[in-house]
Structure 1
Amino acid sequence: MSKVVVVGSYVTDLTARTPKMPRPGETVLGGPFQMGPGGKGGNQAVGAARLGSEVTILTKLGKDLFGDDALNNFNQEGINTSYIIQTKDEATGAALIAVDPQGENMIVVSLGACGTITAEEVEKLRDSMTDADVVLLQLETSMEAIDATIRLAHELGKPVVLNPAPYQDISEELLAMVDYITPNETEAEELTGVRVTDEKTAGEAADKLHQMGVETVIITLGKKGVYLSNKEYDELVAGVTVDVVDTTGAGDSFNGAFCHFLSEGESVKNACGKANIAAALSVTKFGTAPAMPTKAEFEKLYHEVNR
C-alpha cells in the first residue's frame, strides 16, 4: 500500500450558501449552513486516504469540541492520528466560507492551534517519514513547521510535494528542496511575478520556478486542468467537465489524489490526469473533506472518461 505523510492544517469549516457575495458592511441572507472537517492538510489527507493510501497526518488541534470532532473524523477515514497534537493553549482552527450559486467561494481562515506546530513536533515524525513514499505539505501552518518538514524530508530523500497555499513568502533555499510544487494561477503569480492567464504564461511562471530550483511544476488551472512542466513535459494536462456545485475543495482533492497516484508508482503525467478526475468529482458535492471522492467514485468516472 502506498504511504503518504501529510503535515499541515486542520480547521473546522463553517460554510454557508449565499445568493451573492456581500459587499463591505452588507448583510446577506443565505443558507443552507454546513459545519464539517476542513483545512488544507486535513482535506488532502482525506483525499489520499479515500483513494487507498495509508496516510499519516501531523497537525495540531485545540482541546475543544472541534478538536475532538477532528480526531473522530480522521479515525473514521482510517488515517493514522498518532502524531496529532492537542493543546490547551489554542483553539482548533476554523474557516468561514461563503459559496455563491455558481460554486465560487470566499474564505477566511483562522488557523488557531495548527498555526503553532513547532520544528520539534515535526522531528517526531522522523520514523514515520522514513517509511513514506511521498511527503505532502501546504503553507497553511507555521513557517517553522514548513521549514522543518521540507528539511527533514529532503534529508531522508523523500519526494516533497508542496502546495503553496495560501501564499506565504518562502525562501529559494527551501524551494530548491521541493520536488513538486502545485500552485494555482494566483499562487504562481505571487511566487514568480508572472500573471498566469493561459498556457503561455503558465509556462513562463513554470520557468521562473525551475530557476528557483523546483524540478517539477504543476500549475492548477481550474476546469482547464493543470500545466505540467519538468525536463520531460511542458504541456497542459486537460481537466474533466462536470456540473459544478462547490469549488472549495478542488485543489485539495487534486493534491491528495496526485500524491496517492504518485506514491503508487504512476508517472507524473498520469498522476496529474487521474488527480484532475478526482478534483472534478470533488466539485460536484458541497463541502471540502466530505466532498473528497472515494476509490469507487473515482474508478467509475475514470472508466467513463477513458472508454
Structure 2
Amino acid sequence: MANIIVVGSYVVDLMSRTPHIPTAGETVLGGPFRMGPGGKGGNQAVAAARLGSEVTMVTKVGEDIFGDEAIKNFEQEGISSKYITRHPDEVTGTALIAVDDHSENMIVVAPGACGKITKADVEKAKADFETADIVLLQLETSMEAVEATVNLAHSLGKQVVLNPAPYQEVTNDLLSKVTYVTPNETEASLLTGIEVNDEASARKASKILVEKGVNKVIITLGKQGCFVYDGSDDGRFVQAYQVKAVDTTGAGDAFNGAFATFIADGFSLDEAVGRANAVGALSVTKVGTAPAMPYKNELETFISTRE
C-alpha cells in the first residue's frame, strides 16, 4: 500500500451549471447548484485514497461549519486528519465554479485558511514524512508551505510530486528538489516561456524544466494525453482515454493523486502516467471534484474494457 503525504489546499466547491461562461459584466441564469468538498490538495488526497493509498493530509481550515465538514469528509474517505489545523481568524477556503454546456469550467478560488499554512504546520508532520513513499503538493497554498514541504521532503530523501497549479513563480532551487513536476500546457508555458500546445513545444518546455533542475517532467495536455520526459531520450506521448465529459473540473487533481499512487506502488513512469490518464478520464464522467474521484475497482473495470 502506497503511503502518501499531501500538503495542500482544502476549499468548499460552490458550483453551478451555466449555458455559457459569463463575459465581463454579464449575468447568466444557471443551475443546478452543488456544494461539496474540493481544493486541489483535498481532491488529490481523495483520488489517492480511493485508489488504495494510505493518505495523510496537511492543510488548514477555519473554525466554521465548512471546516467541520472538511474534517468529516477526510475521515469518511479514510484520510488521516491529524495535521489539519484550524485558523482562529480565517474562514475555510471556497471555490466559485461555473461549468458550461460544453463541460468547460471557470474557477475563482478564495484560499482562506489554507492560504495561511506555515512552515511550522508542515514540520509538525515530520514523523509522517519520514515514513512516506511520496510527498504530493500543489501551489494553491502559501509559498511558505510549498517551500517548507519541498525542503523537508528533500532533506529526508523523499520523492516529491509538484503539481504547479495554480501557477505561481517558483525558484530553480525549489525545482531542483522536485522529482516529478506535472504542469498542464498553460502552467508549462508560464514556467518556461514556451507556448505549449503540441508535442514539439512540450518537448522544448520539458528540456527547459530539466535544465532548471527537475528530474522528470509530465506535461498534461487534456485530450491529447501527456508528454513524458525524463532526459533519457526525446520524450514521448502517453495517450489519453477518450470519454464523454460531463464536468472537467478536478481532472488534473484526479491525475495527480493517481500518478503519485502508482509511482509509489512501483509502476514504471509510463505505466503510472497511463493509469493516471485513465483515472482522469473517469473523473470527468461525473459531476464535481472530490466526489467524482473513481475507486480502484472502477479503474480496473474501465482499463479492462479498453484493452
TM-score (norm 1): 0.99
Question: Which residues in structure 2 correspond to 1:134-213 (within 5 Å)?
Answer: 134-213=134-213
2:68 equivalent to 1:68: yes
Name the structure 1 match of 2:273: 272
Question: Which residues in structure 2 correspond to 1:14-53 (within 5 Å)?
Answer: 14-53=14-53
Cα deviation code 1:211-249 (max 9, x no counterpart):
100010000010111100003351000000001001011
Please list every run of 5 or more consecutive structure 1 residues that lacks an aligned counterpart in the other structure. Answer: none
Name the structure 1 match of 2:56: 56
- How far has the Cα of 1:122 moved from its partner? 0.6
Cα deviation code 1:64-123 (max 9, x no counterpart):
011101111100000000100012110000000000011100000000000000001111
2:284 equivalent to 1:304: no
How far apart in 2 are the matches of 1:213 and 1:305? 36
What amino acid does structure 2 have at the position aligned with 1:271? Answer: A
- How far has the Cα of 1:156 moved from its partner? 0.3
SS in 2 for 1:59: strand
Any conservation in 1 of the 2:207–2:231 contact (CA below 8 Å)?
Answer: no
- How far has the Cα of 1:302 moved from its partner? 1.0
- How far has the Cα of 1:132 moved from its partner? 0.4
How far apart in 1 are the matches of 2:119 and 2:280? 31
How far apart in 2 are the matches of 1:34 and 1:156? 41
What amino acid does structure 1 have at the position aligned with 2:100? Answer: D
Name the structure 1 match of 2:247: 246
How far apart in 1 are the matches of 2:285 and 2:80? 28
Please list every run of 5 or more consecutive structure 2 residues that lacks an aligned counterpart in the other structure. Answer: none
Name the structure 2 match of 1:3: 3
How far apart in 2 are the matches of 1:77 and 1:232? 38
How far apart in 1 are the matches of 2:256 and 2:276? 7
SS in 1 for 2:81: coil
How far apart in 1 are the matches of 2:27 and 2:217? 41
Name the structure 2 match of 1:284: 285
Any conservation in 1 of the 2:189–2:195 contact (CA below 8 Å)?
Answer: yes
How far apart in 2 are the matches of 1:168 and 1:197? 20
RMSD: 0.6
How far apart in 2 are the matches of 1:158 and 1:133? 7
How far apart in 1 are the matches of 2:100 and 2:87? 35
How far apart in 2 are the matches of 1:121 and 1:61? 12
SS in 1 for 2:110: strand
How far apart in 1 are the matches of 2:275 and 2:149? 26
What amino acid does structure 2 have at the position aligned with 1:161? Answer: V
What amino acid does structure 1 have at the position aligned with 2:63? Answer: K
What amino acid does structure 1 have at the position aligned with 2:161? Answer: V
Name the structure 1 match of 2:258: 257
Q: Percent identity?
A: 59
Any conservation in 1 of the 2:74–2:80 contact (CA below 8 Å)?
Answer: yes
- How far has the Cα of 1:25 moved from its partner? 1.1
What amino acid does structure 2 have at the position aligned with 1:176? Answer: S
